[in-house]
């Protein structure tokens, strides 16, 4: 800046002209008039040059000062100390919390997602095709009960199916005619067997009387008895054959081109989450119409890193939180610890079962999982809201005095609900800012604003 001032002064001296010696040349009335005119022009020029030099000097000085002010924030506040007046603290309702040591279990954390529980999801795809009719399909979000009729399909066979049915009917007519002829033959055989049975019975009774009178031999009696039993057997066999033909052996003809109905029913109770068809649409065999999900119980699947599996047991009580319901915790149990480690993530998928009677959790929702690892340690904890991100680092603001705070870089560890463990950067008993920490960070970025208002006590 001194160099710039010297250059401007030298420029002014270089342009200075001595006017105490009049010129010897005369113009329009002699040398005296000319001399006075020339002196006036010289004075005016000197003044103009001086003004230009002063303006240039002021502009250059202001530019240099601005450059110094721009460069200053880079090195400002190296100690991280921030002044924050009491009025400012009252305005934002600033709150503080004390860093305290507690004996807590090591935490295993992960982020998973909510999925349907086994047997609590059903895709309705009827085994037959047809046109949806008779009634109204349920809407998305509607509750249905197991066994409830959801849709009626009218089945109308195609031309090829009708031709196949007609051919089958012709074959069935021939079979029915053969069966009817067999029935008539069996009825005739039964009649003949009944006649023979009556004759054999009469002859057997006569042989018994004659044998008692010593007029028939034992052999003759036994022969008459054998004929009687044979007639009984023949009649019984004919009766069984006729009965077999009468118990549905004859087939019924299929109706050609006559539509039949098929009722689509809900296999489970739950909520309709998807409707793929509308009334009057054609549905192919095996094509999905509806999807039902029961939210009374849901599963959460989450990856647990390989290094944490040795600390995990089925008796651990997991806690789940979601961004949709901050501060609300859900409990559950461990169903399965995955037997396969993913080669990329080096984690196993763990399945948790979570009661969800009020249907707060929804399929696909992100869930943060927290479990106790079993082993405990004494840790220093503070509220999570006191920790801020600052250029990839974690910082907190510690109270030094009533209106003075200090930015402190910390290393955080496990989370315990609304609290977080601090591994370094804090001492037990120090007070950190919770509500208002972000405003302190803004204050530190523009410290000049702190002097705009003074506070005296």
Condensed to tens digits (0 to 9), the pLDDT of residues 353-401 reads 999 999 999 999 999 998 877 666 788 989 999 999 988 899 999 999 8
Say if residue 268 is in the same domain as residue 145: yes
Final residue belonging to a domain, choices 182, 211, 246: 246
Say if residue 287 is in the same domain as residue 313: no
Nearest partner of 366 among 313, 322, 314, judged by Cα: 322
Residue 251 domain-assigned (yes or no): no
Say if residue 241 is in the same domain as residue 332: no
Q: What one-character DSSP code corresponds to residue 99? A: -
246 near 182, Cβ under 8 Å? Answer: no
Say if residue 102 is in the same domain as residue 177: no
Residue 369 domain-assigned (yes or no): yes
Spatial separation of the C-alpha atoms in residues 5 and 56, rounded to whole Å? 10
Spatial separation of the C-alpha atoms in residues 420 and 396, rounded to whole Å? 12
Spatial separation of the C-alpha atoms in residues 279 and 136, rounded to whole Å? 7
Residue 253 domain-assigned (yes or no): no
Alpha-carbon separation of residue 89 from 395, 400, 413, 443, 445 (angstroms)? 19, 14, 29, 12, 17
Residue 254 domain-assigned (yes or no): no
Condensed to tens digits (0 to 9), the pLDDT of residues 106-117 reads 778 899 999 999
Query: Token pair 């998305």 is at which residue?
Result: 140
Say if residue 22 is in the same domain as residue 67: yes
294 near 271, Cβ under 8 Å? Answer: yes
The mean per-residue pLDDT over the stretch 208-214 comes to 87
Predicted local confidence at residue 426, as pLDDT: 92
447 near 72, Cβ under 8 Å? Answer: no
Say if residue 338 is in the same domain as residue 433: yes
Nearest partner of 12 among 41, 65, 55, judged by Cα: 55
The mean per-residue pLDDT over the stretch 80-103 comes to 89
Say if residue 68 is in the same domain as residue 80: no
Residue 252 domain-assigned (yes or no): no
5 near 13, Cβ under 8 Å? Answer: no
Spatial separation of the C-alpha atoms in residues 139 and 133, rounded to whole Å? 15
Q: Is the pLDDT of residue 169 over 70?
A: yes
**Within its chain, how far is the Cα of 338 from the centroid?**
20
Residue 175 domain-assigned (yes or no): yes
Final residue belonging to a domain, choices 183, 212, 246: 246
Structure tokens at 439: 């405003």
Domain that holds residue 141: 121-156+259-293
Say if residue 125 is in the same domain as residue 148: yes
Q: Is the pLDDT of residue 450 over 60?
A: no
Q: Is the pLDDT of residue 90 over 60?
A: yes
Condensed to tens digits (0 to 9), the pLDDT of residues 254-266 reads 554 455 788 889 9
Say if residue 353 is in the same domain as residue 216: no
Predicted local confidence at residue 352, as pLDDT: 94
Which residues lie closer than 8 Å to 456 by C-beta, 6 or more apart? none
The mean per-residue pLDDT over the stretch 216-237 comes to 87
User: How many percent of the chain have pLDDT more than 70?
Assistant: 75
Query: Token pair 């809407």 is at which residue?
Result: 139
Nearest partner of 122 among 148, 152, 91, 84, judged by Cα: 148
Q: What is the domain-level CATH number for residue 399?
A: 2.40.30.170
Say if residue 211 is in the same domain as residue 326: no
Judged by DSSP in three states, 381 sits in strand
Which residues lie closer than 8 Å to 433 by C-beta, 6 or more apart? 94, 95, 96, 386, 396, 397, 398, 399, 405, 440
Strands 297-305 and 149-155: unpaired
Predicted local confidence at residue 250, as pLDDT: 56
Final residue belonging to a domain, choices 55, 73, 91: 73
pTM of the model: 0.49
Spatial separation of the C-alpha atoms in residues 356 and 116, rounded to whole Å? 11
Residue 386 domain-assigned (yes or no): yes
Judged by DSSP in three states, 365 sits in coil
343 near 68, Cβ under 8 Å? Answer: no
Which residues lie closer than 8 Å to 374 by C-beta, 6 or more apart? 105, 106, 311, 313, 316
Residue 401 domain-assigned (yes or no): yes
Say if residue 194 is in the same domain as residue 129: no
426 near 99, Cβ under 8 Å? Answer: yes
Say if residue 141 is in the same domain as residue 200: no
Domains in the chain: how many in total? 4
């Amino acid at each position: 800046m001194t160099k710039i001032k010297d250059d401007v002064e030298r420029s002014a001296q270089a342009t200075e002209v001595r006017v105490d010696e009049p010129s010897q040349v005369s113009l329009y009335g002699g040398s005296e008039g000319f001399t006075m005119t020339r002196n006036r022009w010289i004075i005016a020029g000197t003044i103009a040059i001086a003004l230009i030099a002063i303006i240039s000097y002021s502009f250059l000085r202001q530019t240099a000062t601005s450059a110094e002010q721009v460069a200053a924030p880079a090195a400002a506040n190296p100690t991280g100390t921030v002044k924050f007046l009491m009025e400012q603290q009252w305005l934002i309702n600033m709150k503080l919390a004390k860093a305290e040591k507690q004996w807590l279990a090591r935490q295993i954390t992960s982020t998973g997602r909510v999925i349907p529980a086994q047997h609590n999801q059903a895709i309705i795809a009827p085994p037959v095709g047809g046109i949806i009719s008779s009634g109204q399909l349920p809407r998305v979000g509607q509750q249905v009960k197991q066994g409830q009729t959801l849709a009626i399909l009218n089945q109308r066979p195609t031309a090829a199916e009708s031709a196949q049915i007609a051919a089958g009917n012709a074959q069935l007519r021939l079979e029915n005619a053969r069966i009817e002829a067999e029935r008539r033959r069996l009825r005739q055989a039964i009649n003949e067997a009944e006649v023979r049975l009556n004759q054999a019975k009469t002859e057997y009774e006569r042989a018994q009387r004659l044998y008692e009178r010593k007029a028939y031999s034992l052999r003759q009696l036994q022969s008459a008895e054998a004929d009687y039993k044979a007639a009984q057997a023949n009649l019984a066999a004919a009766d069984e054959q006729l009965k077999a033909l009468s118990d549905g052996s004859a087939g019924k003809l299929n109706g050609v081109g006559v539509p039949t109905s098929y009722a689509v029913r809900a296999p489970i109770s739950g909520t309709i989450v998807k409707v793929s068809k509308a009334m009057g649409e054609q549905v192919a065999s095996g094509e999905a119409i509806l999807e039902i999900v029961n939210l009374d119980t849901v599963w959460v699947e989450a990856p647990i890193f390989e290094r944490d599996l040795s600390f995990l047991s089925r008796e651990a009580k997991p806690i789940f939180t979601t961004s949709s319901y901050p501060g609300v915790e859900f409990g559950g149990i461990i169903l399965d610890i995955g037997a396969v480690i993913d080669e990329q993530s080096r984690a196993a998928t763990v399945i948790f079962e979570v009661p969800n009677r009020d249907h707060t959790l929804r399929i696909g929702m992100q869930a943060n999982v927290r479990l106790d690892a079993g082993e405990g340690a004494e840790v220093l904890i503070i509220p999570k809201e006191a920790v801020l991100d600052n250029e990839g680092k974690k910082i907190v603001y510690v109270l030094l005095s009533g209106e003075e705070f200090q930015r402190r870089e910390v290393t955080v560890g496990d989370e315990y609900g609304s609290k977080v463990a601090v591994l370094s950067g804090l001492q037990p008993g120090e007070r950190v800012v919770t509500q208002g920490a972000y405003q302190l960070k803004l204050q530190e970025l523009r410290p000049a604003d702190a002097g705009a208002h003074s506070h005296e006590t």
